[in-house]
């Protein structure tokens, strides 16, 4: 792999920031895309989540940015709010070497007035958002893209799957002609080809291939009766004792049923699906990412954009209908060259799908007996942290250091007992060790953050 230092276009400060973030060697998609992106040319790239594609376009956006020009110069469109939040967070990290860069997320499920006020205070340099909300702001005149240099369509195939085709057309038709268009998609259906043909100018085609990251994933398949799947899952989790695991289901109702069954056996699990309110979905994602939940049971659409760096195990409780979706699921456990384990439970009526996966991967599937899983003693799998929710987030100018300071200022709580701190516009979330949760709550409620009394609660 090539080093980022080989990119002559990047400044010393940018390279130093990348090094501090752990970006030393480029992933394949970064090595292929970044020289083209930095040159200002259009790119259409086929790449899975976890391949490093955010940095592949994000470094280019930051490099071309004029921070002294208070106009929106880049727009990143994402299929879900969760992915938009993650992309914006990563862009802020990549922009640390550039002063006064404003990056704003514009997504549904958030107050329109607060977004409009932020746009009016001074225009963000980079906007990350979902197509529907971006189009709303364009129609209202609260968002101007007259100075746009680059637009990124991230996970374009999923945006089309979710019904954003008309919104994408409306947005793209309204942009400056002389712009850079970067299109990233895990798959290449005909509608993606149409988008590229219509809106890109001689794009550089980059194909990482759907199975490129699979050699480091140990895949195992179990044939199991449908009514024994949850028992086999509990046995697997008790044998593996993973720090984190995502279990995929095909239906929303299945997610809740599985979580209820696992929790009843002492296994900390949460469900993630489209019927949850946006705030609840955000909190589930935060709790899983910070170690306050060991097992996340999710549908494909809900888990889109989920990016956990250290995910040792992925389980398909039901096989995906599409082999490409299967590859996308299991690819979440092999991030940037790491190894991972993927287990699939297959009922008799799913065997046709297993054969389709085998044909797609062009390799023989490895089958094992479920006997040991069904006999295994089910062990508790408790979360390593619990999460406290504090009223007040980015809008209140709260930073992670403010929360850490409030917890550790009076002594009694050490920094080692505090885990990940996450911020949204209106709340701060902090992971702490379970045995100090009450003490942490008391510390927050008796202290102050930014000179104001805190209201905090324990998420359950």
Verify that 249 and 357 share a domain, yes or no.
yes
Verify that 149 and 279 share a domain, yes or no.
no
How is residue 79 written in tokens? 């299929």
Q: How many CB atoms lie within 10 A of CB 437?
A: 15
Return d(Cα 164, Cα 356) in angstroms, integer.
Answer: 29
With H, G, I as helix, E, B as strand and everything else as coil, classify residue 46. Answer: strand
Task: Please report whether residue 452 resides in a domain.
Answer: yes
Q: Looking at 354, 375, 396, which one is the last position of a domain?
A: 375
Verify that 96 and 197 share a domain, yes or no.
yes
Q: Which residues of the chain have pLDDT under 50?
A: 210-213, 215
Angle at CA of residue 297, ends 259 and 345, nearest 5°: 100
Task: Please report whether residue 127 resides in a domain.
Answer: yes
C-alpha distances in Å from residue 303, one per residue of 11, 105, 271: 36, 19, 10
Verify that 414 and 341 share a domain, yes or no.
no
- Determine the longest span between alpha carbons in the chain, in angstroms: 65
Task: Please report whether residue 114 resides in a domain.
Answer: yes
- The residues, any chain, with a CB within 8 Å of residue 12's CB and separated by 6 or more, are none
Q: CB–CB of 73/146 below 8 Å?
A: no
Task: Please report whether residue 42 resides in a domain.
Answer: yes
pLDDT of residue 212: 46
Domain total in the chain:
3
Task: Please report whether residue 72 resides in a domain.
Answer: yes
Return d(Cα 332, Cα 247) in angstroms, integer.
Answer: 11
Q: How many CB atoms lie within 10 A of CB 188?
A: 17
CATH (domain of 428): 3.30.70.330
pLDDT digits (tens, 9 = 90+) for 118-158: 999 889 999 999 999 999 999 999 999 999 999 999 989 88
pLDDT of residue 162: 74
Return d(Cα 131, Cα 76) in angstroms, integer.
Answer: 9
Verify that 113 and 13 share a domain, yes or no.
yes
Verify that 256 and 338 share a domain, yes or no.
yes
- The residues, any chain, with a CB within 8 Å of residue 68's CB and separated by 6 or more, are none
Q: CB–CB of 248/314 below 8 Å?
A: yes
Place of tokens 């977004």: 115
Task: Please report whether residue 191 resides in a domain.
Answer: yes
Verify that 65 and 160 share a domain, yes or no.
yes
Domain holding 437, by residue range, is 386-458
Verify that 397 and 341 share a domain, yes or no.
no
C-alpha distances in Å from residue 368, one per residue of 224, 352, 365, 379: 10, 18, 10, 22
CATH (domain of 85): 3.40.50.300
Of the candidates 392, 388, 394, the residue with the CA atom closest to the CA atom of residue 413: 388
Residue 100: DSSP 8-state: T
Task: Please report whether residue 408 resides in a domain.
Answer: yes
φ/ψ of 322, rounded to 5, equals -115, 130
pLDDT digits (tens, 9 = 90+) for 22-40: 788 888 889 999 999 999 9
Verify that 195 and 48 share a domain, yes or no.
yes
Q: Rounded to an integer, what is the distance from CA 50 to the centroid of its chain?
A: 9
Q: Looking at 186, 207, 228, which one is the last position of a domain?
A: 207
Q: Looking at 330, 351, 375, which one is the last position of a domain?
A: 375
Verify that 361 and 395 share a domain, yes or no.
no
pLDDT digits (tens, 9 = 90+) for 256-271: 999 999 999 999 999 9
Verify that 365 and 390 share a domain, yes or no.
no
Question: Residue 274: enclosing H or E segment and its boundaries?
Answer: none
Verify that 351 and 321 share a domain, yes or no.
yes
Task: Please report whether residue 381 resides in a domain.
Answer: no
């Amino acid at each position: 792999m090539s080093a980022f230092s080989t990119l002559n276009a990047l400044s010393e400060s940018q390279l130093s920031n990348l090094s501090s973030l752990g970006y030393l060697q480029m992933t394949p998609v970064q090595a292929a895309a970044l020289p083209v992106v930095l040159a200002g040319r259009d790119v259409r790239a086929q790449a899975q989540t976890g391949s490093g594609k955010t940095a592949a376009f994000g470094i280019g956006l930051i490099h071309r940015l004029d921070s002294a020009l208070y106009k929106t110069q880049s727009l990143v469109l994402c299929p879900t709010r969760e992915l938009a939040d993650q992309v914006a967070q990563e862009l802020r990290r990549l922009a640390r070497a550039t002063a006064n860069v404003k990056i704003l997320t514009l997504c549904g499920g958030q107050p329109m007035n607060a977004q409009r006020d932020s746009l009016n205070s001074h225009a963000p340099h980079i906007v990350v958002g979902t197509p529907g909300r971006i189009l709303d702001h364009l129609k209202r005149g609260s968002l101007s893209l007259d100075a746009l240099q680059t637009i990124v369509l991230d996970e374009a195939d999923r945006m089309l799957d979710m019904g954003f085709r008309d919104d994408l057309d409306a947005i793209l038709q309204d942009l400056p002609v002389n712009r850079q268009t970067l299109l990233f998609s895990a798959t290449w259906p005909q509608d993606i080809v149409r988008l590229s043909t219509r809106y890109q100018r001689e794009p550089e085609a980059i194909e990482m291939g759907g199975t490129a990251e699979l050699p480091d994933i140990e895949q195992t398949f179990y044939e199991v009766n449908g009514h024994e799947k949850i028992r086999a899952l509990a046995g697997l989790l008790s044998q593996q004792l993973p720090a984190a695991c995502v279990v995929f289901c095909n239906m929303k109702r299945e997610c809740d049923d599985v979580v209820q069954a696992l929790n009843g056996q002492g296994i900390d699990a949460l469900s993630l699906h489209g019927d949850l309110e946006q705030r609840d979905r955000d909190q589930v994602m935060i709790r899983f990412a910070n170690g306050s939940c060991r097992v996340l049971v999710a549908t494909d659409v809900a888990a889109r954009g989920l990016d956990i760096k250290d995910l040792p195990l992925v389980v398909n409780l039901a096989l995906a209908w599409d082999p490409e979706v299967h590859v996308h699921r299991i690819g979440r456990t092999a991030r940037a060259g790491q190894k991972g384990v993927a287990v699939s439970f297959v009922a008799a009526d799913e065997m046709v799908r297993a054969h389709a996966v085998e044909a797609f991967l062009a390799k023989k599937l490895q089958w094992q007996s479920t006997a040991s899983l069904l006999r295994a003693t089910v062990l508790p799998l408790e979360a390593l942290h619990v999460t406290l929710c504090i009223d007040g987030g980015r809008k209140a100018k709260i930073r992670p250091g403010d929360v850490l300071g409030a917890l550790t200022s009076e002594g009694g709580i050490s920094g080692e007992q505090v885990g990940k701190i996450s911020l949204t516009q209106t709340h701060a979330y902090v992971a702490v060790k379970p045995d100090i949760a009450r003490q942490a709550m008391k510390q927050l409620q008796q202290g102050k953050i930014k000179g104001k009394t805190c209201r905090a609660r324990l998420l359950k």
